[in-house]
């Protein structure tokens, strides 16, 4: 004899499926975020390689973070993109897979046609505004402890990160940094490698100074 499902049995099956889904979805979301974080680190690794390639092509000088006015060098993206063979115009990014945007960032910062999820440390990459160079350009050979020096990292709505800009040196973290990955920040270091650092950061006024090119507290 053929026996059909009763309504009660059908509801039980639906309930079991719902319970299994509720158990699996967090794990799937966690796995997806882990994949995004790994992808983000890969992009920052490419950016770190671009920084080194740029220095090699510019007599050792590092790019600027951002600039405006008659001293306009453009954003760090504009300077790095050509040396890692990314197609660009004068003010925009045309490459299909934008390495300057994090896959976990739903609202990347847009400046002059460029979209980015990452900000450059102004104590490493010099900054210009209008007609004045705010900080001098540095050579990669001047960098102290490049494997520890934080270069370009996850940010929210900013091209730059400053250790004493919006947050005092004595603070435990920087407001510009965006903890998109497991309460931490992905960072491209000056030696070219990329890594994850959990927030809060060690206070910026504590040694070793992992924010300044010379390995010391530096207030331009």
Question: What is the predicted pLDDT for the residue at 87?
Answer: 62
Residue with tokens 């927030």: 199
More confident residue, 28 or 215: 215
58 falls within a domain: yes
2 falls within a domain: no
The answer to whether residue 168 scores a pLDDT higher than 50 is no
> Considering the entire predicted model, what is its pTM?
0.78
159 falls within a domain: yes
214 falls within a domain: no
Average pLDDT over every residue of 62-82:
75
Q: Which domain holds residue 125?
A: 7-198
Exposure pattern of 97-122 as b/e (b: 16+ CB <10 Å)? ebbbbbbbbeebbebeebbbbbbbbb
């Amino acid at each position: 004899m053929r026996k059909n499902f009763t309504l009660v049995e059908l509801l039980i099956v639906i309930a079991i499926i719902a319970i299994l889904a509720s158990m699996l979805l967090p794990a799937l979301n966690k796995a997806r975020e882990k994949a995004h974080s790994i992808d983000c680190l890969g992009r920052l690794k490419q950016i770190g390689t671009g920084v080194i390639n740029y220095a090699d092509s510019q007599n050792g000088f590092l790019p600027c973070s951002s600039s405006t006015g008659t001293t306009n060098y453009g954003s760090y993206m504009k300077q790095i993109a050509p040396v890692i063979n990314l197609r660009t115009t004068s003010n925009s990014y045309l490459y299909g897979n934008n390495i300057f945007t994090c896959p976990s960032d739903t609202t990347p910062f847009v400046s002059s046609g460029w979209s980015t999820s990452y900000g450059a440390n102004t104590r490493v990459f010099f900054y210009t505004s209008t007609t004045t160079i705010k900080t001098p350009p540095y050579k990669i050979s001047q960098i102290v402890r490049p494997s520890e020096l934080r270069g370009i990292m996850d940010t929210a709505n900013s091209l730059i990160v400053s250790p004493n800009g919006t947050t005092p040196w004595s603070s435990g973290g920087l407001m510009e940094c965006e903890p998109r990955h497991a309460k931490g920040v992905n960072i491209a270091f000056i030696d070219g490698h990329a890594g994850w650092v959990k927030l809060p950061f060690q206070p910026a006024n504590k040694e070793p100074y992992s924010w300044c090119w010379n390995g010391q507290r530096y207030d331009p």
